[in-house]
Structure 1
Amino acid sequence: MQKIRNIAIIAHVDHGKTTTVDKILHSCQTFRENHEAGELILDNNDLERERGITIVSKNVAVQYKDVKINLIDTPGHADFGGEVERVLKMADGVLLLCDAFEGAMPQTRFVTQKALSLGLKPIVVVNKVDKENCRPDEVYEQIFDLFFNLGATEEQLEFPVIYGSSKNGWMSTDWQKPTDNFFPLLDTILEHIQPAPYNEGTLQMQITSLDYSSFVGRIAIGRVARGTIKENQPISLVKRDGSVVKSRVKELYTFEGLGKIKVSEVKSGDICAVVGIDGFDIGDTIADFEKPEQLEVISIDEPTMNMLFTINNSPFFGKEGKFVTSQKLRERLYKELEKNLALRVVETEQPDAYLVYGRGILHLSVLIETMRREGYELQVGQPQVIVKQIDGKKCEPIEVLTVDVPGDVSGKVIELVTQRKGELLIMEPKGDLQHLEFEIPARGIIGLRNNILTATGGEAIMAHRFKDYEPWKGTIPGRSAGVLISMEKGQTTAYSIDKLQDRGRFFVDPGVDVYEGQIVGEHIRDNDLVVNLVKGKQLTNMRASGSDDNVRIAPAIKFSLEECMEYIQADEYIEVTPQSIRLRKIYLTENERKVNAKRFVTE
């Protein structure tokens, strides 16, 4: 029996997954006494730290009681499901983390279903039991019901439960008896998770994740399923389509702490990183040189949404970005395909525009935000859901939407969701909140979050997961208000914004450069209005003292990238540059917009 345990950690966004891994690393004294590690060690890119979510799966390994525990941190958001599905292949068990108040959320359900179907043994950790009005016992019951509904085996239903507070650094088998360390959790992992088995035979290893180094190029990461892999060993790479490419392992690494250490061989059951193999993709099998045998190919759920990516052709083109040509855009999108399994890129009739398919708005916005930070300038169109023909019927993706809101505003939420063809399925109290569950077309969710947060004073907690394709639900009303469009290129003035404040709310402050066709605000009516924000005050020599000082302008509304994606309509683009996010009409002059108006009349 090998002294190795492989365990994946799954949880909903913000239930304390990354903090738990931090504390396990500290408990096993992975760091030197004088080493300042900080917090959220695994969320190592800026986007993950800012949003507080895990986007890319990471591997770390710790030593506890002479046993090596490989920990795999997985994303919690359903939009990154492609990342989760393949990573679970490396694990023998899962640690399911739940918030002691919120309980199991829809996206936890999504990942748990994948884990249970692979036959992994679960350990449940009820986290944040130090919070006010937490309900650990109810959450335990809820998770048992969830496992039962997902078709867990009897062995999986006999799961151990640990209670604790990752933030305060303790875990215990009884939530009313806190300890002062994390050892009860680590002991439970050793006791309940099977040691990684050693399978005799010829080499088999599936590539489930990849890393990149500027020195050695792409690095294949996976778990050795059978046999032993050695340094300098000749191997066969079996591609997804069954074709075989001969290659050689140059270097081998296993994980230790937060880093990797070089080794000469890795036996089956352990997770390793392989350097020196060219042209591999995720899902390929590294097999024996003479008798290659392929492992089952990883199947990934289909994308549900697409967006048009095109080069920036606005009047401010090239002012801020380093990469602005269609060739650079194309190279970057195809490079993303190598590691982002759930993404698809399709070329369009226009040479400088690409349709990018993804799992949801967050999935696509993370890609756009990453490109923007790398120095790319681009424009993106309105997100569109993918429609399929099933048995001769037009079908669209349907999502299960859950909203937790204070009871006095639940009526507003139900009204907003039903306007978008949502159907209320469940309405029940949850602590001091109302828990609502709907079935709603994926189209209806685009733009819904903003409206619900506005209607509930920011108190709604929303989550949704993909259910299935169902027949088309009919027309959904879009944005109710029109927009204010700039008439001229120039710098906005406080004088003209002040004079137009009764026409709507503005997205720009005084002294900002705008161009003709740029969307500068929201109109109070449902039609678009062209306004001149560049006009200054006519100076005369007659002047009342102090009359210029009392210009009072409401602060401009600033949208995040996701909010922009939910806000725009079919005839609008978001212009994304390293320093700015602007909204604009596709056709900048009023004349062009009138000529092409019929193109954008949707159902």
Structure 2
Amino acid sequence: MSDPMAAFVNALPLPSLRPTASRATPLRRPFSAPTVHVRPTLPSFRLAPTCVAAPPVAESSSEPSAPLTVRQDVVTVAFVAHIDHGKSSMCDALLKGASCFRDNETVEDRVMDAMDLEKERGITINASAASLLYKDVNVQILDTPGHADFGGEVERVLNMADGVLLLVDSVEGPKPQTRFVLKKAIALGKKIGLIINKMDRPQARPDFVVDATFDLMAELGASDEQMDFKIAYASAINGQSGKEADAIEDNMDAVFDLVLDFPRPAVALDAPLQLQVNNVTYDEFKGRLVSGRINAGRLRKGESVVVCHPEKDTTRGKVAEIFVYDKLGRATVDQAQAGDIVLFSGLTKFNIGDTICKADAVLPLPPIKVEEPTVRMSFMVNVSEFAGQEGKYVTSRNIKDRLDKELERNVGLRLDRDRSSPDSFEVCGRGALHLTILIETMRREGFEMMIGPPTVITKTVDGVTHEPYEQLEVEVPEEYMGAVVDLLSRRKGEMVNMAGANSENMASVVYCIPTRGLLGVKNALLTATRGTAVLNSQLDGYRPFAGEMEAKEQGSLLVYETGKATSYGLEGAQDRGRLIVSPGEKVYRNQICGVHQRAGDLSLNICRLKALTNYRSANKEIKGGMQGLLQLSLDDAIEYIGHDEVAEVTPVSVRLAKRAGKGKKR
């Protein structure tokens, strides 16, 4: 006799788990999900929300749904590449190709690099956005940094992009930072387009670059759709592009076609507002501005909104003015909709990663996750004998307020409050360059402080101390390869790969080396290779502690007494090593005035005056003269200082000194 309960259960209709063509209900999604990018030709089915790698936010089954609309009039693309592969130049070429400038307008290079430091160093530090119109499509372009130390900027803006344009040099091929940014784009499921840039170089080898990029994507676990990428060949600096390597034309149509091939955003326009803060900017008249891409709904001028976060309390505010990007500037609008990148004023308490919602629908998105810092430095109050003479902001309160302001927008920066003290702040970053840029920025703003030497951030795993390792690639003329191998081996480096010399007689070697070994290695490598070495590095993870590093081979020359350096004193001291102090410069006791030619420190009296007598010698008119002084930039100064030394940074000077109590006694 059959079981009646089993017969009843078997008679229940089973829900279909696969979408069918006859399904009449429109494509719908919970309005709490972030923007999902799909091609309009795909069949209708429910999409899982795609966002940054973070724990998902629980959604209630009673939440209403909103239909998805594919916006054909807008597309957002991010440019990513290794440093100096031409991202900023490509943005310039696209802006010119879309007639964003007047015919008689003088346009400088790298127009999207707004900071003075970016123009001086020739690198992109902060990610920036612009908008152009091409074939009735609003193309929102995002220019990202190429240096590994500013990888947090790349991680922050990739969430806003519909597609990613990967630029690769036609000669160099994929480099360490290419791997990093490509890995992030693949993990987010972004569609990728490849641009082989600098095709005007005589040694261009596009076939090799395409094969190397394909192998790299396969190694990083790209999907079949991502592996089926389209290619454009270009020379951004000349405004040329083409779909074939041997068919380059004097326009950027091939790159624009690559951009228009990206999927358009599928957004819920009728859902409640949902916008994640991706950047914090400041305007002298408007105050703090929220910057981000609207994930769902519409943003209207004058409406009340809520700032929420999964781990923070909510705050309320009101939208004052809304701006959208118009070419390189901003345009004021009354409202914006999902898919648009906007800036708006009116809110005061918000940070990157917060979600802006309507007051009656508070549903925060998962916060933005970036990789943790690996290097720390101490920012201390200046306590030297010349303290307060050259700077405008010198107190610990000034320094702390400035660091707190930087933490609001610099997602890769951290402040270790447990290790900090009232007069010293432990600032953690992605690398020495990351922190040096911050120091230089503060210096130009009028800050005066002391900086401690960079140290690595270690971790304890199963009771064992682990430290960060980096994959270092060095390109150098073949004749200097022996010196490079010897130097990196003494710094606990392990050789991973070595390639022979190419047509330009440049050989390359790849090392896995502790981050500690890279601190201070740049100047040593440039000295050993006569300034011909090219270094690229990328974080390779954490490994067990490699042991103690050898101490510096050369010590420091110290000032014996406070005073003014004289030519007579410096001429007598230059036989002891290379000097970094010029005649007439004010110095104080235990300040570093040069690099000793031997190990250990040595105090010298460079302030002594020549005795005046009535005795005339035969060689009185013979003068030895001053030899060339060693010019140290801020980067060189930070790289030089040891564990018992500090760098005094002011708006006028950069001095090196021993820590208080560390100098040689009289």
Aligned partner of 1:601 in structure 2 is none
Tell me how far 1:502 sits from its aligned partner.
2.0
AA paired with 1:586? R
Aligned partner of 2:585 in structure 1 is 512
Aligned partner of 2:135 in structure 1 is 65
Tell me how far 1:88 sits from its aligned partner.
0.5
Cα root mean square deviation, aligned: 1.6
Cα distance in 1 between the residues matched to 2:318 and 2:291: 15
Aligned partner of 1:524 in structure 2 is 597
CA deviations over 1:484-543 (Å, ceiling 9, x no partner):
000011121222222222211111122221111100011111010000001121122223
Aligned partner of 2:263 in structure 1 is 194
Cα distance in 2 between the residues matched to 1:412 and 1:519: 28
Aligned partner of 1:360 in structure 2 is 431
Aligned length: 592
Tell me how far 1:413 sits from its aligned partner.
0.7
> Structure 1 stretches of 5 or more lacking a match?
595-603
The secondary structure found in structure 1 opposite 2:272 is coil
CA deviations over 1:390-413 (Å, ceiling 9, x no partner):
011011111111111112211111
Distance 1:198 1:590, change over 3 A: closer
AA paired with 1:557? L
**Residue 543 (structure 2) pairs with residue 473 (structure 1):** no
Aligned partner of 1:403 in structure 2 is 474
Cα distance in 2 between the residues matched to 1:361 and 1:333: 16
Tell me how far 1:584 sits from its aligned partner.
0.3
AA paired with 2:404? Y
Contact 1:441 1:473 in 2 (8 A): yes
317-326 or 544-553, larger mean C-alpha shift: 544-553
* 2:113 maps to which of 21, 25, 43: 43
Distance 1:37 1:545, change over 3 A: farther
Aligned partner of 1:175 in structure 2 is 245
Cα distance in 2 between the residues matched to 1:578 and 1:240: 41
Cα distance in 2 between the residues matched to 1:457 and 1:133: 24
AA paired with 1:418? S
* 1:342 maps to which of 409, 412, 428: 412
Aligned partner of 1:558 in structure 2 is 631
192-201 or 318-327, larger mean C-alpha shift: 192-201
Contact 2:78 2:143 in 1 (8 A): yes
CA deviations over 1:336-371 (Å, ceiling 9, x no partner):
111111111234564211111111101000000000
**Residue 302 (structure 2) pairs with residue 232 (structure 1):** yes
* 2:641 maps to which of 568, 577, 580: 568
The secondary structure found in structure 2 opposite 1:47 is helix
**Residue 489 (structure 2) pairs with residue 418 (structure 1):** yes
The secondary structure found in structure 1 opposite 2:635 is helix
26-35 or 360-369, larger mean C-alpha shift: 26-35
**Residue 375 (structure 2) pairs with residue 302 (structure 1):** no
The secondary structure found in structure 1 opposite 2:483 is helix
Cα distance in 2 between the residues matched to 1:233 and 1:561: 47
CA deviations over 1:228-280 (Å, ceiling 9, x no partner):
22111222211251532222222211111011111122111111112112201
Cα distance in 1 between the residues matched to 2:488 and 2:352: 39
Distance 1:166 1:529, change over 3 A: same
Tell me how far 1:173 sits from its aligned partner.
1.3
Aligned partner of 2:315 in structure 1 is 245
Contact 1:59 1:73 in 2 (8 A): yes
Contact 2:309 2:365 in 1 (8 A): no
Aligned partner of 2:506 in structure 1 is 433
Distance 1:575 1:455, change over 3 A: same
Contact 2:569 2:607 in 1 (8 A): yes
Contact 2:644 2:662 in 1 (8 A): no
**Residue 201 (structure 2) pairs with residue 131 (structure 1):** yes
**Residue 449 (structure 2) pairs with residue 381 (structure 1):** no
> Structure 2 stretches of 5 or more lacking a match?
1-69
AA paired with 1:193? F
Cα distance in 2 between the residues matched to 1:368 and 1:45: 14
Runs of 4 or more above 6 Å deviation? none
CA deviations over 1:471-493 (Å, ceiling 9, x no partner):
10101113110110000111212
Distance 1:545 1:169, change over 3 A: farther
AA paired with 1:397? P
TM-score with structure 1 length normalisation?
0.95
Cα distance in 2 between the residues matched to 1:220 and 1:78: 26
AA paired with 2:631? K
TM-score with structure 2 length normalisation?
0.87
Larger Cα Rg: Structure 1 or Structure 2?
2
Cα distance in 1 between the residues matched to 2:562 and 2:170: 54
Cα distance in 2 between the residues matched to 1:453 and 1:589: 30
Distance 1:367 1:195, change over 3 A: same
Cα distance in 2 between the residues matched to 1:87 and 1:547: 68
CA deviations over 1:441-500 (Å, ceiling 9, x no partner):
110000111111111111111111111111101011131101100001112122222222
Cα distance in 2 between the residues matched to 1:240 and 1:449: 42
193-202 or 144-153, larger mean C-alpha shift: 193-202
The secondary structure found in structure 1 opposite 2:149 is helix
